[in-house]
Structure 1
């Protein structure tokens, strides 16, 4: 699905609105807004990744490296190390969101810069 910058702005506004609702909530239900907030954050994350991949959002240096490493090594397992652009990167996976029952609903990964390779 193709997303626009308007979708991105609307998703960011929805997350901010839900976070403010949670902050202003005075009731005793500790799970109030949790599901809606998780879904809003998941949608924002999906839209942001789509816009980064399509080039509509300007990626940071690390985001650009992540996108390129994902393209080069789409099936990398956890803790895999690869050299890219004079640096060594290691892929890490984590649960981005968890349902109320404790099940993983969204898994994320990121290539983290470990060290620079010494010049030859």
Structure 2
């Protein structure tokens, strides 16, 4: 099991979770952040600092956002395990699930 970042992160990307992550497993896409399921050590440090309450333990991910668990896994199926987001840098694109979400009112 791992943690998953869901829809409330889209177009917010506060990054407090990145600062708290002790293993550098949170990667930045153009519109949201993703937790690498193989690099996450399930410490939970990211969850309480998320200002939009977008981070869930995989088993606790609300059904309405279940596609984000699959999307996160698929992002890293393509990327592999580069050994941390600092090494990899920002992702070139978001998963199609994220790209399909319309921007929130007042946000680009």
Mark yes or no: TM-score above 0.5.
no
Higher helix share goes to which structure?
A: 1
Whose strand fraction is larger, Structure 1's or Structure 2's? Answer: 1
* TM-score grouping bracket, smaller chain normalisation: under 0.3
> Normalising by the residue count of structure 2, what TM-score does the alignment of the two structures yield?
0.25
Q: Which has the larger radius of gyration?
A: 1
